[in-house]
Amino acid sequence: MIQEQLIEIRRQLHKIPEIGLEEEKTQKRLLEIILLIDKEFIEYKTWRTGIMVFVHGKNPQKTIGWRADIDGLPIAEEVLSDFQSEHEGYMHACGHDFHMTIGLGLLEQMSVEQPENNYLFLFQPAEENEAGGMLMYEAGAFGTWLPDEFYGLHVNPELPVGQITTKIGTLFAATCEVQITLTGKGGHAAFPHASNDMIVAGMSLVQQAQTIVSRNVNPVEGAVVTFGTFHAGSATNVIAGEATISGTIRTLTEEMNQLTQIRIREIGEGIAKSFNCEVVVSLDQKGYVPVINDPQTTEKFIFFMKQEPDVVFEEAEVAMTGEDFGYLLSKVPGTMFWLGVDSPYGLHSAKFEPKEAAIPFAVEHISHFLKFLDK
């Protein structure tokens, strides 16, 4: 595919963002493009809204995997363009339209002639909400196509086009979503003694939860506890009888994630006793374990990219970003890396606007790496 074709494909995909396990239009468009890459040594199969494309090698010694996630986010786009999202309230605000397009470009490049080894190209659903990689693995979707080593990228708005970064070991954090419901007795604002205010209880819980990082977490390990929503009350003169709070935990190790979860529950139980109310704490980690890059595959990747013309490689710092590719890397050795796309606004922003020049750049240089692995 030439540059113009890649850009057009990205724009087509950008128009039709869909949330995890509902990517039906996305899957259909991907399959239309995949079927154009018609070779006798290529076959594909689907799993729900995901797609796996297997390139059979001439003399395979291993299977090399490439993963691209395909889902969008429930965010209303604020970037005006000729290819703005056609699905109101949804947007490719995390760059998965870039990921898919790059994956298609790499598939084509690796299919120009039959490689020696096998290659699996995974177009994975539900990275954002349901840990689609874990679901596919646990369902046995890969079968005999499970790679011996796995690679994938994530776009990075803070890096310029032309830059790639990664590191050996932990790259991204483990995550856990938190949902808390506090239930007490509401009442009239003029008679506070006859009620127990769940806004006050909820505020106290949020404040106390911040002590987990400052007083329970080893400072050299790091953790994040962030509450993003707080819903309570219905009128200015009514004491709220219920409050719902949601947030996220981010840690660099599974052990720290479990410790933080335990402390959230303990604080919730303490608040329930203090305010004479009921509390329900729901913690959902799913398959969002840390992304830990394998030393051997990552050393190969770093060595290659440092030699590759026009690539600016730097070692990455650990990020508290969550990525469900971590689950697959806990089962198969591999490497994830950042690709610079130079956006003025960050990931998950309604104004996220990555530079499309990163797409042909990635296809060119990553295909060189995949061919290097075939030697």
**Residues recognised as catalytic:** 69, 128
Degrees, nearest 5: CA angle 45-51-57? 65
Per-residue burial over 275-301, b if 16 or more Cβ lie within 10 Å, else e, is bebebebebebbbbbbbbbbeebbebb
CA distance linking residue 361 with residue 349, whole number of Å: 24
